[in-house]
Homo-oligomer: A and B are copies of this chain.
Amino acid sequence: MGEDGKIGMTASYETIITRLDGNVLAATFQAPPLNLIGPEVVRDLVALLDELSAPTAPRVVIFDSADADFFFPHVDLTKVAEYTAEAAKAGGPGDASLGMLFRKLSRLPAVTIAKLRGRARGAGSEFLLACDMRFAARENAILSQPEVGIGTPPGAGGIQHLTRLLGRGRALEAVLTSSDFDADLAERYGWVNRAVPDAELDELVAGIAARIGGFPRDALIAAKSAINAISLPTPAEVRADAALFQQLVRGEKATQRTAELFKQGLQSRGATELALGEALGNLPAVD
């Protein structure tokens, strides 16, 4: 927490480094060795969203990652039950899913901006899609929804957001191919607001955040709410996607394919995680 923190941000987090600068909070995910979305990250995110829901919270948040290669590689596939239990603490009945947690993120009374370097796959991509804006480093950002290649549709908002942002044809391509998308193609398709040179990314995002941070809070919140009313999926849609994911990710095919990927180094730093899109394409074909 910055020393100049006039706004009441008091918590500290094991996996999120926060720094407050005026009305702008910088939140950097740091969960070594790989920034997997596991129980610890979800626990901290639940707490941070809770704090950001307060009326005196910072009105802008910039999310990035301390790991240059991985913003979020994906969820920790060995701990689906555990991180889901943490996500459940964010809301009421029916909210036991990353999808509902990310929907809460989308509805925060604060403006959220994601700054993407490295890989954001699966729920990592879905975290970014739940933010209000996304800017990506042209040289190294990679986005993908690898779930179908494993054996389940994406379950935490990817289906909903990509269909609305990219349109039917490009959303089907992104989701059904489970391919890695570089920053330029992600920008052309609308997955991110803009791809910019890595050297310009920090300044662009800092400028947008500082600008918005000086604007009247009630206007920001009212405008965001009005846009959300048109563009966010319903809770029923999010819950249906989450239920299907939680069922199929435990199914026989996904279990087999995940086991095969673990043999190749899944969830370790190395070639499989760096080029997961390629690894999925090389798995044995299955019915």
Contacts and interface: CB of A to CB of B under 8 A. Distances in A.
| Copies of this protein chain in the complex | 3
Nearest to A128: B169
A199 interface: no
Contacts of A226: 153, 159, 240-241, 244
B169 A133 contact: yes
B223 A175 contact: yes
Interface string A188-232: 001011000000000000001001111111111011101110111
A47 interface: no
How large, as a class, is the contact surface on chain A? 35 or more
A161 B151 contact: no
B111 A219 contact: no
Contacts of A231: 163, 167-168, 171
Contacts of A228: 168
Interface of A: 22-23, 111, 129, 131-134, 147-154, 159-165, 167-173, 175-179, 190, 192-193, 208, 211-220, 222-224, 226-228, 230-232, 237, 240-241, 244, 248, 251, 253-254, 257, 281, 283-287
